[in-house]
Structure 1
Amino acid sequence: MPMRHEQVLPFAALVQWTSARRLWQGQALTLDTHHGFVFAAGAGFKVPMGVGVALMPFRHPHEAALHARSVAVASGHPFVAGIGPGAVDFQRHLGGGEYASQLKAIREYVVVMRTLLDGDEVDLDGEYFTAHAALPPLPTPEVEVGLGVLRPGMARLAGEVADVAITWLTPASYLRDVIVPAMREGAEKVGRPMPRLVAMVPMFVAEPDRDPTRIVLESNGVHLMLPHYRDMLSRAGIEIDAQQPAESVKRLISGGGFLSGTPEELAQQMDEFHAVGVDEVVLNLTGVARCYGNQVAMGEMETILGEAAP
């Protein structure tokens, strides 16, 4: 999470000057992600961008559509507006209660966003969201609405209503065996093509002086304690035990949820994601950045990209 908008610029430059194809950032709690993207575009780094994912309790879907369109206009490129409901406790803390039906709340949110972004007037009195409005007409690059997907129910919903499914910490084998079939089922149910599949893949280059446990926990320690992530990993055959972090990290790496190896090995592991149907692999070196700094993480990304470039 950048503390200053200027910290986004080197990563935007990496996309502009290397084989990387899109700048991604997740939900930020320090500076708004969309504002950082617009700042980068205003500084001259007009590259494709995506949020994976913005958390629904922070904003009404009308505002989410407006934010997404603003980034697309500023960058001049298609934008991926990924959304997700967040953890149940997070929903309670911001909204006073959880969504009784997570999937219904998400469906309503997507309906509002997609209708507005298509230039139509939305007319919805939903159980969770109400919207009777339209966005003023404005020529805009395409905005894809994405869903954060971890488990089969969300994957089926993504197949029905989303343009993109975005996964996090999901092994390639789990995508092949669980997520892709569920997405296909949802898409076939409503007679539409399957959405694109984007996998956010945490990774680091293995070196003798590096502590894998520290890197993994700096990157995803919070996620590994959340029930919906632990359930997904359990379905993938990876058991997380809060009392044994080092063993849990070993299982996560050996199970393919967090990649580690030489740059060449990382490129080969990323190929496995493409082989199971992933359209876009996102390099996530958050753990490296937090342990060793952004400059080291950027250098590592550039090395990995050099191995992974088609």
Structure 2
Amino acid sequence: MDIGVVLSGQNVTGDNYVDGVVALAREAEAAGVASGWFAQRLDYDAAALAAVIGHVVPRLALGTSAIPVFARHPVLVAGQALTAQAATRGRFQLGLALGAKPLVESAFRLPYERPVALLREFLTALRPLLSDGTVDFRGELLGAAPTLPVSLPGADPAPPVLVAAMGPQALRVTGELADGTLPFLAGPRALGEHVVPALTAAAEAAGRPAPRVVALVPAAVTAEVARVRDVATEELAFYESIPSYRRALDLSGADRAGELALVGDEETVAAGIRRYRNAGATEVVLTQTAMGGEAARRRTWRLAGELSGARV
């Protein structure tokens, strides 16, 4: 089972953010971690950062988790993804998301309307652009018909497209049109009873291959369990008021998001990862790994490297 880590966020130190992420990526690669992932923020571009890192760190797979489809166009996102795929020599994974209504409306001053319909049209236009370099699509919410090809030498194969989908409608679209999903704060129960069945059924109905399920899981290997659990509860509280995450937490049987963090020694965290695998996750990405401090983060990454590629 491939185990990845999130490279962005509080893990990064130094005067130059990109230099700091390069150092972290090299550390993750040396530890044997399978993949590094970048959240999309407002201060950096996740796909560009993946391209830069992948060009100088030769073995680590890179991905975005995840770029919101609001305020973006599939032609431009295709160009970003193909550039990253060429820079990483085929190790890039494009993660997309619907985004959260409060963030979309406050940051972009756009109405958060018909998100699932927008996701369907975005993916319908994007997939031919990535595979064929062209598309002629006219939907209700967007259109795409570039007059010049969107293909790029070296950007082979077409990068896989994953969607951070957890609700039933978004999972249906993801199963029909994407390569898999990137659920965050969907515990093993929600994953096994809701996310995986809905996604698999949609993919089968569309005649598509079995989808990937890349579960993002907060984790810290530490002896300071009570303290780090409190930190996790505080750090993750933001998500509890967002409806999609609130639903995932409820389906997971969790009142607080921090309850889903894997906190403890190596055996405890490895057992937690096994629960995600048994629930249907094909890969696990450990996030919030710095919540226990630098020593705990390094210990967590060592475990991720040891487990990556092994039968967890």
The two structures share one fold, judged by TM-score above 0.5 = yes
Task: Give the one of 251, 258, 262 matched to 2:261.
Answer: 258
State the partner residue of 1:135.
Answer: 150
* 1:47 and 2:60 aligned: yes
Q: Secondary structure at the match of 1:168?
A: coil
* 1:170 and 2:191 aligned: no
| CA distance in 2 between partners of 1:47 and 1:201 (Å) | 19
Residues 15-39 of structure 1 deviation map (CA, whole Å, 9 limit, x = unaligned)? 4223311111111222222222222
State the partner residue of 2:298.
Answer: 298
1:18-167 equivalences under 5 Å are: 18-133=31-146, 134-142=149-157, 143-167=159-183
Q: Secondary structure at the match of 1:229?
A: helix
1:41 positional shift: 3.0
| CA distance in 2 between partners of 1:162 and 1:95 (Å) | 25
State the partner residue of 2:3.
Answer: none
Moved more, 114-123 or 27-36: 27-36
**Unmatched 5+ stretches in structure 1:** 240-247
State the partner residue of 2:251.
Answer: 235
1:55 positional shift: 1.4
Q: Using a 3 Å threshold, how does the CA distance of structure 1 residues 153 and 188 change in structure 2: closer, same or farther?
A: same
Does structure 2 conserve the Cα–Cα contact (< 8 Å) formed by 1:263 and 1:304?
no
1:193 positional shift: 1.9
1:7 positional shift: 1.3
| CA distance in 1 between partners of 2:224 and 2:108 (Å) | 46
| CA distance in 2 between partners of 1:273 and 1:66 (Å) | 33
State the partner residue of 1:244.
Answer: none
The TM-score normalised by the length of structure 2 is 0.85
Moved more, 6-15 or 266-275: 6-15
Identity of paired residues, percent?
A: 23
AA at the equivalent of 1:298: R
Does structure 2 conserve the Cα–Cα contact (< 8 Å) formed by 1:47 and 1:77?
no
Q: Using a 3 Å threshold, how does the CA distance of structure 1 residues 60 and 172 change in structure 2: closer, same or farther?
A: same
| CA distance in 1 between partners of 2:225 and 2:278 (Å) | 32
Structure ranking higher on relative contact order (CA contacts 8 Å, 6+ apart): 2
Task: Give the one of 179, 193, 197 matched to 2:209.
Answer: 193
**Unmatched 5+ stretches in structure 2:** 1-8
Does structure 2 conserve the Cα–Cα contact (< 8 Å) formed by 1:146 and 1:162?
yes
Q: Using a 3 Å threshold, how does the CA distance of structure 1 residues 103 and 122 change in structure 2: closer, same or farther?
A: same
Q: Secondary structure at the match of 2:93?
A: strand
Q: Secondary structure at the match of 1:167?
A: coil
State the partner residue of 1:242.
Answer: none
| CA distance in 1 between partners of 2:272 and 2:225 (Å) | 22
* 1:8 and 2:21 aligned: yes
Does structure 2 conserve the Cα–Cα contact (< 8 Å) formed by 1:79 and 1:141?
no
State the partner residue of 1:243.
Answer: none
- Over the aligned positions, Cα root-mean-square deviation in angstroms equals 2.3
1:145 positional shift: 0.9
1:170 positional shift: 1.1
1:183 positional shift: 0.8
Moved more, 161-170 or 185-194: 185-194
| CA distance in 2 between partners of 1:113 and 1:153 (Å) | 19
Moved more, 57-66 or 262-271: 57-66
